[in-house]
Amino acid sequence: MCRIISGDTMATGQIFSKTTQALFYNYKQLPIQRMLDFDFLCGRETPSVAGIINPGSEGFQKLFFGQEEIAIPVHSAIEAACAAHPTADVFINFASFRSAAASSMAALKQPTIRVVAIIAEGVPESDTKQLIAYARANNKVVIGPATVGGIQAGAFKIGDTAGTIDNIIHCKLYRPGSVGFVSKSGGMSNELYNSIARVTDGIYEGIAIGGDVFPGSTLSDHVLRFNNIPQVKMIVVLGELGGRDEYSLVEALKQGKINKPVVAWVSGTCATLFKSEVQFGHAGAKSGGEMESAQAKNEALREAGAVVPTSYEAFEGAIKETFDKLAEGGKITAVKEITPPQIPEDLNSAIKSGKVRAPTHIISTISDDRGEEPTYAGVPMSSIVEQGLGVGDVISLLWFKRSLPRYCTRFIEICIMLCADHGPCVSGAHNTIVTARAGKDLVSSLVSGLLTIGPRFGGAIDDAARYFKDAYDRGLTPYEFVESMKKKGIRVPGIGHRIKRGDNRDKRVELLQEFSRANFPSVKYMEYAVEVETYTLSKANNLVLNVDGAIGSLFLDLLAGSGMFTKQEIDEIVGIGYLNGLFVLARSIGLIGHTFDQKRLKQPLYRHPWEDVLYTK
């Protein structure tokens, strides 16, 4: 926990520890995972991210804490998150510049929040000033805006601070050193962490205050904090031209408020080489006069007692010299080096680097959405549209994995049109209507109707094709076929209708037969089915070839006559249930229509009339 003093100021001591926990605003997977990986590297017992705030979302996000997969709670509001995690006192704000100020102020007003880090650049200066005023009036700390955050070595880090795990290990940030570091630049912080690790025992705490004109906390704020942290033995400061922040540090040095060695450098000395004013990377990195130049600031810091090298290239040497003097004087105890644990590598990165191979869990051969546009059986979506292909062509690609001739795809489309609906009284439509009138949603109503499809309703196409094919291929006469089925106690699939008769044929069957005779190379299976119908009509006038039988026999002719399928493929198509799929697809159109019809008519709950029920013992 941070130490606070009363008055219009910020924390004066350590603001992070090995038990610090944060709330992360606006979910970003990578920086959160980097925080958790740093936790594991440092040997923390609990994750540093207590909860995630994602406006409008609640639940959990799965992430890794070392080898273990954990679920971090997600809250929709700042207030709810703070109430659920009262020990989390750091608020890491990854909101955009448009909403960063409002969400940061909401966090500052929570009694449990002590530190707010604002990552976004471009936060309006007037909003930032309000945040600064509120934070200082309430003894809270703002880091940023336009910051990468901060880190306490071996304990806690904010978001992407210090970059990758490899960089963190290289800079020895997994264990505390003796140097307090503060900078305006997040990018240069990574560079200095590396330099400091090379010539000292490493960082104890590092802060990037951000490059905006009005940072939430200043260089001198953090230098004064470092001065009050016993583990910090020396302080390194990296400033930049523009603004007058460094002069508050100059005054603190002159007034004797800092009793630890300060090694400082203000970057931007090259600005004098330009004839006109130059705007460097940060909003605040622009000299507004002589006093704001890097040369003037470096000279002022040098005169106030800071160790200021002659150039940035000499900065690392000055840090080393200062550290070595402290070590020789016995003011720094040698840090015991430790070997950090190995962070388990994510499977995706390990696969990319060729370190492991992993089996896939799904095989797909019909479509691919990994490129610039989806493909169906290798055919780009744009090509399908540009060629003017239809639904039958798409079914051809996705179901049969090949482009069938136009007469085949047209036949598929005719089947869909003819089977789309057969009135409200059939079982599927009836179920859908009853379900829709019960107030259920579209999907529930549709599925209710689809569940009635089977051997007694619309599901006989595959069986019709299977039995007709077997009988024809074995050379059975219609008489032999029908009588053998009768002996087995099996009704001939595709034969028989509740309404249609020999003198009142199903118009759908006639349309299919007309199309196929005009377009198919061969209709041998369909003609065989007609011969079977002739025999069954001699038995009873309702034993006509129905639409299931017509589609089943004609699909056999399509598959065999197109010359694009082997016998084995045809048997597989019939066996898997492709043909019933046509009826399911087609009838879904009608069932959806019945659902919309009932809802449009605002029909009440259906109750079957008791007069239509035979009550008997």
The residues carrying an active-site annotation are: 282
Structure tokens that stand for 596 in this block: 């919309």
DSSP string, 386-448: HTT--HHHHHHHHHHSS---HHHHHHHHHHHHHHS---SSSHHHHHHHHHHHTT--HHHHHHH
Residue with tokens 């569940």: 451
Q: At what angle do helices 547-561 and 406-419 cross, to 10 degrees?
A: 170
Structure tokens that stand for 308 in this block: 């200021």
CA neighbor of 391 nearest in space, from 585, 551, 142, 105 = 585
How many Cβ atoms sit within 10 Å of the Cβ of residue 574? Answer: 23
Omega before 55 within 30 of 0, i.e. cis? no
- Cα distance between the two ends of the chain: 79
CA neighbor of 33 nearest in space, from 129, 164, 136 = 164
On the CB side of 525, how many CA atoms lie within 13 Å of its CA? 27
CA neighbor of 47 nearest in space, from 57, 55, 37 = 37
DSSP string, 19-75: T--EEEES--HHHHHHHHHHHHHHT-SS-SEEEEE-TT--EEEEEEETTEEEEEEEE
Structure tokens that stand for 90 in this block: 């750091």
Q: Residue 559 in contact with residue 478, Cβ under 8 Å?
A: no
89: left (phi over 0), alpha (psi -120 to 50) or beta: alpha
Q: At what angle do helices 478-488 and 461-473 cross, to 10 degrees?
A: 120
Residue 37: partners with Cβ closer than 8 Å, 6 or more residues away: 64, 165, 343
The SS3 assignment for 525 reads: helix
Residue 48: partners with Cβ closer than 8 Å, 6 or more residues away: 20, 21, 22, 35, 36, 38, 39, 156, 157
| Cα–Cα distance measured from residue 599 to residue 117, given in angstroms and rounded to the nearest whole number | 52
